[in-house]
Every structure is written in structure tokens, then in C-alpha cells.
A and B are shown apart, each in its own frame.
Chain A
């Protein structure tokens, strides 16, 4: 029987962006990061992969090489999902390490990594095809 790690077990952290919601499950491991069961190394499209990689690069390998992170993303488009995933990962790393230095590093890099981006799609209203666009009207 392996003695379970005493202090840190499993962390569940979430991140959001637009309509995408990401849930990151962090546990001790060997640096495996999966997004919806796809390893980050082969996650497509590439710009989404690089976006998700950013908090990991900022944190440094020694932080995440001893963790396994499973991210589950639902909703939104590929870029919204990527932003939600990176936010979940960044928050998870801060929560795991409890490091104020890492937190301030993330905030300096990109505030939305921890704070989130509150912008949402503006609802469409009647009288037009979109949120602000109105139907054409004619006078005669």
C-alpha cells in the first residue's frame, strides 16, 4: 500500500471565457496535461495550443512537471475554449503552489489569466438582425 501524499491531493479549479467553461483537475504526476483527453502536445489548432502553453511557460517546468492536469472544456468556440483552459490551468497552478510570486507573475503577464474576462456576447434584440444592427426602414 502506497502512503497517499499527506498535504496535497487533488484540486479542481475552473476557468471561463465567453461561453466556454473549463474544469482543471490537478493531481501529483509527471507533467501530463490533457485537454478533453487530448495531450496538450498534439492539441489542435496550434494557436490554441500555444495559448494554453503560456501559463505553463511562465510558471516554469519545475512547477508543472510534477503534476498531472486534466482539463475538461465545454461550450464556446476553439479560442474561447483555449482561453478558458489556460485560465483554469493558471488558477490551478497558483492554488497548488500557493505562491504569491507566481500569482504576481501571472497578473503581470496577462491579468485575465486569473481575473477572467467578463465580456459576454450581447443578446440580440427584436427589430434587427443583431444586438445593435437594426432593420432597414424606408420612408416611402
Chain B
């Protein structure tokens, strides 16, 4: 597990994402998600990953790469990581233009805001199905947040003249601002509302 592992100082200067965005000074404010959002400095979010057999290894995959991986979905984009990376790169440019902040930081904020805390599970008790509210593990919170951000962007760009990059950028910015227009935030609120009722 990544825990509070620090990366060597000089990496922050040498390895800028896409040769542009620095990972320096970006912190995960949510203490629960800290160990599951990896901010290892990389140039290309493409690690030729070897993590599928290790339970917590995906927590050590760079967070931008995890977003990239979520964008590859069957249909037109399955397996096209180069394409997905280009989408993220352009989306990051747009985010920077619109907010003036470091897009990696915006993404981390978005994930923190979109990560749900509570879910429900089905419990059979005496033949009757109950819904029981449960806490979500931090790993799954990150997974869900990333998935919803990607899903929201995909749905927004479908049959829409806007490019996918714009939709992705917009979704990330909205989520980072905790805006209710964001699909990921909507999903989070809905899930937590259901969980609240099932408590």
C-alpha cells in the first residue's frame, strides 16, 4: 500500500505531467482517501501496469492514469489508451484555461467531492430483504468517483456537438466546485440519500 510514501524531491521538478503540470504541493484533503490517491510524479499516465493480481496495487497507480483507464470503454474507445490520454491532456488544458488552477489539483478536489461515504447493501433477514446502510471503503470511494466522472462526461458528450474533452473538463470542474449540475455529485448525493433512509 502506498501509505504516506514520499517521492524523491527532484522528481517533482523533473517529471511534470505531459511536461507541463507539476505534482508539487498537491495534497489530498480527505484523510481517508489519502492513501488511495497516488500522486506519484509521472510524465505520461501510462505505466504498462502490472497490478491486476495485487489487491491494493491499484492504489499506487497514478490518479491521472486511473482516470485515463476509466475513459476506455467498449464501443469506440476500448483499448485505445493513447486516445484516452489525449482526451485527458486536452481536458486538463481546458480546465487550466477556465479555472487558472493546476488541473491535477482540480481533479483531486473533484474526486474528493464525488466520492460517496455511505452505500446500502441488501440483507436477507427472516425472508425479508432489508437495506442496510454501510460505509464504503476508501478504495471503492475513489473507484466510484472516477467512474462517475468518466460516465458523466461520456453521457454529456453523447449526441452533443461539444467535444468529449470539453465535457470531461466541465464535469471535473463542476465536481471540484461541488456543483449539483455535476453528474458525479448527483450520483453521490443520491446514493447517500438512499443510505440515510436505510440507516
- A residues contacting B by CB (< 8 A) are 45, 47, 50-51, 53-54, 57-58, 78-79, 83, 108-109, 112, 117, 119
> Which residues of chain A come closer than 8 Å to B43, judged between CB atoms?
50-51, 53-54, 57
> Which residues of chain B come closer than 8 Å to A53, judged between CB atoms?
43
- B residues contacting A by CB (< 8 A) are 8, 11, 14-15, 18-19, 43-44, 46, 48, 50, 81-82, 85
Are A117 and B19 touching (Cβ within 8 A)? no
Are B44 and A117 touching (Cβ within 8 A)? no
For the complex, give the distance between the alpha carbons of A98 and B15 in Å: 24
> Which residues of chain B come closer than 8 Å to A108, judged between CB atoms?
8
Give the top 7 A-B pairs by smallest Cβ distance, nearest first: A50-B44, A50-B43, A47-B44, A57-B14, A47-B85, A51-B44, A47-B82
Q: How many A-B residue pairs have CB under 8 A?
A: 31
Are A79 and B48 touching (Cβ within 8 A)? yes
* Chain B min CB distance to A57 (Å): 5
- Given A47-B46, A51-B46, A57-B15, 10 extra CB contacts under 8 A: A50-B19, A50-B43, A50-B44, A53-B43, A54-B43, A83-B48, A109-B11, A117-B48, A117-B50, A119-B50
For the complex, give the distance between the alpha carbons of A50 and B47 in Å: 12
* Chain B min CB distance to A133 (Å): 15
Q: List 23 A-B contacts (CB under 8 A).
A: A45-B82, A47-B46, A47-B82, A47-B85, A50-B18, A50-B19, A50-B43, A50-B44, A51-B43, A51-B44, A53-B43, A54-B15, A54-B43, A57-B14, A57-B15, A58-B14, A79-B46, A79-B48, A83-B48, A108-B8, A109-B11, A117-B50, A119-B50
Residue of A nearest to B13 (CB): A57
> Which residues of chain A come closer than 8 Å to B11, judged between CB atoms?
109
> Which residues of chain B come closer than 8 Å to A109, judged between CB atoms?
11
Are B48 and A112 touching (Cβ within 8 A)? yes
> Which residues of chain A come closer than 8 Å to B50, judged between CB atoms?
117, 119
For the complex, give the distance between the alpha carbons of A117 and B43 in Å: 20
For the complex, give the distance between the alpha carbons of A115 and B89 in Å: 30
* Chain B min CB distance to A90 (Å): 14
Residue of B nearest to A109 (CB): B11
* Chain B min CB distance to A55 (Å): 11
For the complex, give the distance between the alpha carbons of A83 and B81 in Å: 15
Residue of B nearest to A54 (CB): B43
For the complex, give the distance between the alpha carbons of A75 and B67 in Å: 30
For the complex, give the distance between the alpha carbons of A57 and B11 in Å: 10
* Chain B min CB distance to A96 (Å): 20
For the complex, give the distance between the alpha carbons of A26 and B18 in Å: 27
Residue of A nearest to B89 (CB): A46
For the complex, give the distance between the alpha carbons of A53 and B16 in Å: 12
> Which residues of chain A come closer than 8 Å to B14, judged between CB atoms?
57-58
